[in-house]
A and B are shown apart, each in its own frame.
Chain A
Amino acid sequence: QKEVEQDPGPLSVPEGAIVSLNCTYSNSAFQYFMWYRQYSRKGPELLMYTYSSGNKEDGRFTAQVDKSSKYISLFIRDSQPSDSATYLCAINQFYFGTGTSLTVIP
């Protein structure tokens, strides 16, 4: 079993929609969770990080960790065409999801 699993999509939504991106992980000892956004042929940029469980909000973005089900989520409200990118979940610096490709249609 891989340490972290992520649905690769692709995901296509209309502008203004709420987007939900999700990952599952295998080891209940993991505590530091991150979401990165990667535009085509660029390096990933950190969007959000959370430690342990709970929610963290930053503008239109909310990161959520459910340790009981080993499930991490990123929600994007009022999605914009500029949000079109690949979103990667990560645990510590060692385990990355395969990325979900998101397209927001104007």
Chain B
Amino acid sequence: DGGITQSPKYLFRKEGQNVTLSCEQNLNHDAMYWYRQDPGQGLRLIYYSQIVNDFQKGDIAEGYSVSREKKESFPLTVTSAQKNPTAFYLCASSVGVRNTEAFFGQGTRLTVV
């Protein structure tokens, strides 16, 4: 079945540690996205990538990093510089950027302990 897989579903991190969230898609989509969702704030764009080896900052990129070495994969690293990392993280992909609909993974809930 085609789709987007995020792992793990739940993740706990100690303060000061970096952690990497996985996102894999087999939809052959060129564009991939990372969003953060907090209660009452909807989805906010962290980073997006239009093509392999290229990515752009979204509205809230500070404290996050990404890579796009393969078309299928777009991992997100939450660094220790992110001051409030506890949130629900969503990965998505689409055929292209703009004017196409996105398909989402099931999310990763990150909690800093």
Contacts and interface: CB of A to CB of B under 8 A. Distances in A.
Contacts of A49: 101
Given A8-B40, A99-B42, A46 B107 contact: no
Nearest to B88: A41
Nearest to B109: A41
Interface string B33-73: 10100001111110010000000001000000000000000
B31 A93 contact: yes
A87 B109 CA distance: 20
B72 to A, nearest CB: 18
Nearest to B35: A96
A43 B6 CA distance: 10
B98 interface: yes
A19 B76 CA distance: 37
A93 B106 contact: no
Contacts of A31: 99
Nearest to B94: A93
User: Which among A34, A45, A90, A93 has the greatest number of chain B C-beta atoms within 10 A?
Assistant: A93
A32 B111 CA distance: 34
Contacts of A99: 42
Contact of B98 (A6, A92, A98): A92
B107 A42 contact: yes
A101 to B, nearest CB: 10
A46 B40 contact: no
B101 A44 contact: no
Interface string B67-103: 0000000000000000000001010101001111111
Contacts of B40: 8, 98
Contacts of B48: 93-94
A102 interface: no
B104 A43 contact: yes
B100 A32 contact: yes
Nearest to A47: B101
Interface of B: 4, 6, 31, 33, 35, 40-45, 48, 58, 88, 90, 92, 94, 97-107, 109
